Each structure stands twice: as structure tokens, then as C-alpha cells.
Amino acid sequence: MRNYDSDALECLATIVEQGGFERAAVRLSITQSAVSQRLRALEAQVGTVLLVRSRPVKPTGAGRLLIKHAMQMRLLRADLETDLKDLAPGASKEEDRVSIAINADSIATWALGALDPLIHAGLPLEIITDDQDFTHDWLREGLVLGCVTTLKQALRGCKVVPLGAMHYVAVASSSYAQAHCPQGLTPHNFRDLAFVAFNRKDDGPAEFVGRALGLKRVALNQRFVPSADGQLRAALSGWGAAVLPRLRVQTYLDAGDLVNLAPVHSLPVDLYWHCWNLDSQVIDRLSAALVGAAEQAFAKNTAES
């Protein structure tokens, strides 16, 4: 079996993570020329191109395999640091960080609290955010060791654990509701409302309206705010209706700052934790923390529904 230079592997992974050679050089604290040299040497050793020189750069099939290997090397170092911590405590290095992908709504509600003990224990964690229907793409590409996603089927080489269902409700500020939909969400007024969505990949508002009103096809007037906190602030400011987690908005509903536009309806979104199927203390601790926190949060979520 070939031995690949660890610095070159890390360089390849960092180029893809950072989206280019210049940013990778800054992250690695080396020159851009050195980044290029390491990549060329690795490609020469493998005997094939590892990156598509697009903007941003993308890995080839062989590149994805080597990036996954680089990530697994990071995980091994993180496991070693965990084992050695009591014997020789010290700060983790930037290149030893481990990455996971979590959807923005989970970050804004239950996930960060779950990760608190691990962060304070020194885990060099990087969280990547994306829509819950797309976080598994990061795992498939080998760029993260685990993800929170709506995908039920385990990816190759991975294990999956159900987390439960996050319930979404349609809300708007009391002033917006009074002016535009005093009777709530109906088949007659939904086309006249503005809906605040996360981005163009976010099909939550359309799915909610379709299910609540019994419609097969729904076209909405949408405004995009790519931030979970930003969506909430936009709704509170009267930008329009928003379909947000009940966990996130219940306090504002209780205070009367937001109005539930469809009180008898909620949209349950089942979430799953996927991670590499490896014997690793870091993965085990991440899994236990996220699964436990989700179980507690979603049990409360269900009780309020």
C-alpha cells in the first residue's frame, strides 16, 4: 500500500474546504506556490488529476477518496489527543480539527447545547451549515465525518441514528397577520403573502402550505434570508410569513409577538445523524451528545404540538 504524504493530503483537503489555492495557503500558513507544489506532487504519486480547476475548485473521484482519507487522519489525531489529554494536556492544532455538517435550524435550537461539553473539553470542532436536505452531500464527499440530515438511508461506510422530528409552524408578526391574513392562512390568500425562506433550496414553506391547504402545487412569493436568526428577525419585523421550528418561535408566540397562521397544522421533519462507521471515541462522543440532546428537545417539541 502506498504511503501518502500527510502534508500533501491535508493540503488537498484544505484547498477544497477553502474553495481555492490562495485561501488554502492562508489557512496552512504557507505560500500559494507551496500549495501548488504539494498538490502536483500528490497528483504525480497517484497518477491522476485530483482537482477540477473551477470556481470554486472541486475534487475528482480520486480526489474525494483522498480527501476522505485526510479527514480520517484528522479523526485519528483527534482520538489520540483525547487519549493523551490526561497525560500531556495541550491545545489542539488547527489542522487537527474535525468537521460535521448541521442544518441551520438545528444549530439555532438544540445542537449547540449538545456540543458544549465537547468544545469545553478541547475538541477542535468545525461546524458546516447547509439545508437539512443537503448536509449529507458533505458527508458523501468525505468533507465531514458526520451530518444531521433528512436522509434516512445510511450512506456507504456510514451508520445512521434517528434523531426524531422537528416540527415547523407558519408564523408572522401580529401586525403583518392583521394587515394581510387576519383569518390566518387560507387557499385564497397564500398567493398574496410574502414568505421568508432560507435560500432557493429551502422548500419548507411550499411544502407546509401544500400540506396545510391540501394543494398539490404551490408557488409562493419568497424573500430569502440565509440565516436561521435572520429569518426569525425578518418575521418579527413584518417582512412576511415564515415557516420556522416550533422550538425556535414558541416563546414569541406565547408573548404575542408572532401569530400562528395555521394553528392546527405543523410540518414534522424527521432528522437523522449519519457518521462514519469507525471505532472512534470522538465519533462516539459526538453521536451520544447529539442523539441525547435531540431526544430531549424533540420530546418537548412533541408535547407542545
Distance CA 233, CA 227 (A): 10
Decide if 1-96 and 97-305 have a common fold.
no
- In CATH, the architecture of 97-305 is 3-Layer(aba) Sandwich (3.40)
C-alpha to C-alpha distance for 1 and 47, rounded to whole angstroms: 15
* ∠ Cα 168 173 176 (to 5°): 120
Q: What is the dihedral of CA 140, 145, 150, 156, to 10 degrees?
A: 50
Residue 95 DSSP one-character state: G
Q: Does domain 1-96 have CATH number 1.10.10.10?
A: yes
Rounded Cα gap, residues 212 and 246, in angstroms: 16
Beta-carbon count within 10 A of 145 CB: 26
Please give the Cα distance from 109 to 216 (Å, whole number).
30
Q: Could you tell me the three cell numbers for 213?
A: 391547504
Q: Where are the domains of the chain?
A: 1-96, 97-305
pTM: 0.76
Residue with cell 474553495: 19
Question: DSSP string covering 171-231, please?
Answer: EEEHHHHHHH-TT-S-TTTGGGSEEEESSTT--HHHHHHHHHHT-S----EEEE---HHHH
| pLDDT tens by residue, the chain, 305 residues | 578 888 899 899 899 888 899 999 998 889 999 999 999 999 888 889 999 888 788 899 898 889 888 888 888 888 777 666 554 444 445 556 889 999 999 999 999 999 999 999 888 899 999 888 889 988 988 889 999 999 999 988 899 999 999 999 999 999 999 999 999 999 999 999 999 999 988 999 999 999 999 998 899 999 999 999 999 999 999 999 999 999 999 999 999 999 999 999 999 999 999 999 988 889 999 999 999 999 999 986 655 55
DSSP secondary structure string for all residues of 236-274: HTTS-EEEEEHHHHHHHHHHTSEEESSTT--EEEEEEEE
